[in-house]
Amino acid sequence: MISNPIIDKINEKYQNLGENPETYLKGLLHAKPINYWDYIEVDTLLSLQKPRTDFKDEEIFIMYHQVTELFLKLMLHEVKQVAAEPELTEGFLLNKFTRIIRYTQMLINSFDIMKDGMDYDDYNTFRATLAPASGFQSAQFRFIELHCTGLENLINEAGKERLKTISNPSITDYFDHIYWKDAGLNRKTGNKTLTLTLFEEKYLAQFIGLATTMKGKTIADRISQIPNLSNELLTKLKEFDNLYNVVWPMTHLNTAKHYLDSKNENQQATGGSEWKKYLHPQFQQRKFFPNLWNETEKQNWGAE
């Protein structure tokens, strides 16, 4: 067998796996060279837009949300690594949160595509065909939340009051009162929107399983165990918390206002939520790292 440093390392690799290196080397003789379009799956990616109407801008709407989901996957890719890292160091956290902030900023800036990149009248016509689908049903958004912080930080003030009536609330109890459930549940009648019903049928068991796994191990939990956060890291963490939980929902809210209420129509969201109330960070009151904020900052959370 030919011997050179690279071949020797290949031999060692497969021998350590209990495999015959020659088998794999022979396989390389018949392997086709990789190309960009196959590696990136370009043809598949560009075939994933399937409009339900003939309005041209509906394809923009679909692609925008697909790009959003890819950015959420980038963020989830990073937060999973932070949550799983055995020993969190300053350099590691600064690097990861610099990346996460960059992705969050790009998502915030991308709302211009929604606000100014579609015909107003066309959007307000074709959006009716999308019901009951809603961006509310983005599971990756919830997965990011559950990696970043404990369920107690995803409960707004009204939810906390309700939980006071429950002795030793379970994870399921927390999900019954989590902030996002208010977007589709009438707590007086107990009626749920179809949007919320379908979302919970598909994902609630996964959310409960992840919250159970992450209990005491979220990024917020891990950070609370670091004795002295540097000012640089503290600033990064607070910047991400503010961007994700205040700036992004406010940008989303203002974009929704552009299409649903700029002419005082007060139109309903496709998911049926009270969007003006639900989307506002003062209503959601979601904070990933509440211990990093002083009382005044918390009281003014999301104030315009």
Tell me the percentage of the chain whose pLDDT exceeds 90. Answer: 80
Tokens standing for 151? 């369920």
- Residues 6+ away with beta carbon under 8 Å from 213: none
List the chain domain ranges. 57-299
Residue 264 confidence class, pLDDT cut points 50, 70, 90: low
Q: What is the pTM of this model?
A: 0.90
Measure the CA–CA gap between 82 and 88, rounded to whole angstroms. Answer: 8
Please tell me which residue, 100 or 277, carries the higher pLDDT value. Answer: 100
Which tokens is 83 given? Answer: 């949550």
So what's the pLDDT on residue 258? 81
Q: So what's the pLDDT on residue 55? A: 96
Listed in sequence order, the DSSP H helices in the chain are 5-16, 21-28, 36-39, 42-45, 57-84, 90-109, 111-116, 120-126, 139-148, 157-163, 171-176, 194-214, 219-224, 231-242, 248-260, 275-278, 281-284, 295-299
CA–CA separation, 217 vs 237, rounded Å?
Answer: 17
Topology at the third CATH level for domain 57-299 = Methane Monooxygenase Hydroxylase; Chain G, domain 1 (1.20.58)
Mean pLDDT for the stretch of residues 86-112: 96
121 within 8 A of 263, measured Cβ to Cβ: no
**And the tokens for 40?**
């990136």
From residue 74, give the alpha-carbon distance in Å to each of 17, 96, 102, 160, 216: 32, 11, 10, 32, 24
